[in-house]
């Protein structure tokens, strides 16, 4: 008898989540009754970001790249294969580029690196030791630890490479914000739950919209 493959949750964006990066005016000029309805159509690839007249070209381009990302579920990896806790420099970041902290589960790192690359987002992506757990499981098992974030920062000499001591943690790890801030002395910002929305979140941050 065939055994059904268990698939892992990768938290694709919902229309409600994506709508947070739209103007929220519900003006109807895009042809949809609300920004959330437009977001749902964008995710179904039935609409285009340039249908919203209130979005400037940078936002239109990034939203288009975001909804084009492959959000297909991936096979559940029972081996918890680990990625080295070495920083990945995505799209040639500079000292002003954001530092994104994630778990060291191999598939998590691969997905986040792909999201950043395919959306043209410049960033430092830092896997921190979580015993190979993904972010959700690491938080549940109390393996997403401030001490490991600090260790990864220091081992990768990021304190000297960044213009500002600031980092982003995944939305699923929001409860660890204070402990990471206290130990690392970095300003800690919380990103979205869906990693697919990280590029939009970073653009909103750069434009002072958060």
**pLDDT per residue rounded down to tens, the chain (210 residues):** 455 667 777 899 999 999 999 998 999 999 999 999 999 999 999 999 999 999 999 999 999 999 999 999 888 777 789 999 999 999 999 999 999 999 999 999 999 999 999 999 999 999 999 999 999 999 999 999 999 999 999 999 999 999 999 999 999 999 999 999 999 999 999 999 999 999 999 999 999 998
Domain annotation covers residue 178: yes
User: CA 139, CA 129: separation in Å to the nearest integer?
Assistant: 12
For 21, the domain range is 15-67
Q: Structure pTM?
A: 0.94
Most distant CA pair in the chain: distance in Å?
Answer: 58
Residue 155 included in any domain: yes
Number of domains in the chain: 2
Confirm whether 28 is domain-assigned. yes
Task: Give domain status of residue 138, yes or no.
Answer: yes
């Amino acid at each position: 008898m065939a055994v059904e493959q268990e698939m892992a949750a990768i938290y694709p964006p919902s229309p409600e989540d994506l709508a947070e990066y739209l103007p929220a005016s519900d003006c109807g000029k895009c042809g949809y009754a609300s920004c959330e309805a437009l977001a749902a159509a964008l995710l179904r690839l039935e609409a285009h970001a340039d249908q919203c007249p209130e979005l400037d070209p940078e936002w239109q381009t990034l939203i288009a790249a975001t909804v084009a990302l492959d959000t297909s579920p991936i096979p559940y990896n029972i081996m918890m294969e680990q990625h080295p806790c070495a920083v990945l420099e995505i799209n040639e970041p500079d000292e002003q580029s954001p530092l994104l902290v994630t778990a060291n589960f191999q598939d998590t790192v691969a997905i986040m690196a792909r999201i950043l690359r395919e959306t043209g987002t410049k960033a430092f992506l830092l896997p921190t030791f979580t015993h190979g757990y993904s972010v959700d499981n690491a938080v549940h098992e109390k393996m997403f630890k401030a001490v490991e974030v600090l260790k990864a920062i220091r081992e990768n000499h990021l304190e000297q490479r960044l213009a500002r001591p600031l980092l982003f943690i995944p939305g699923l790890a929001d409860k660890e914000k204070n402990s990471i801030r206290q130990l690392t002395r970095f300003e800690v910002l919380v990103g979205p739950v869906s990693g697919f929305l990280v590029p939009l979140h970073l653009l909103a941050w750069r434009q002072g919209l958060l």
